[in-house]
Amino acid sequence: MKKNVAYTTGGGRRGKPRQPSIDKRLCISVDEAAIMLGLSRNFAYDLVKQKQLPVVRFGKRILIPRVALEEMLKKGDS
């Protein structure tokens, strides 16, 4: 059963999977979170190391669950 998901351009025919648009994805990269929060990339990674940003790791890939980030911001946790 396929879900209706909005996709960005790129990929497709040549075997590269297309990425859902940033507002549809469940997780965002640390770089994307830094941009959204108005932080530098390095500071965002420092926050990950200090365990001040909620993360999920898949091998070397570090992702931030959108819902966990939004909840953290609502609570005002640092």
Encode pLDDT of 22-74 as tens digits: 678 899 999 999 999 999 999 999 999 999 999 999 999 999 999 999 999 99
pTM over 0.75: no
* Residue 61 confidence (pLDDT): 96
Query: Of 7 and 40, which is predicted with more confidence?
Result: 40
* Residue 44 confidence (pLDDT): 97
Q: Which residues contact 16 (CB under 8 A, 6 or more apart)?
A: 10
Q: Is 6 exposed, middle or buried (0-12, 13-18, 19+ CB in 10 A)?
A: exposed
Find, among 44, 78, 50, 42, the residue nearest to 64 by Cα: 44
Q: How far is CA 1 from the centre of its chain?
A: 25
20 DSSP assignment: B
Please give the single-letter amino acid code of residue 77.
D
* Residue 51 confidence (pLDDT): 94
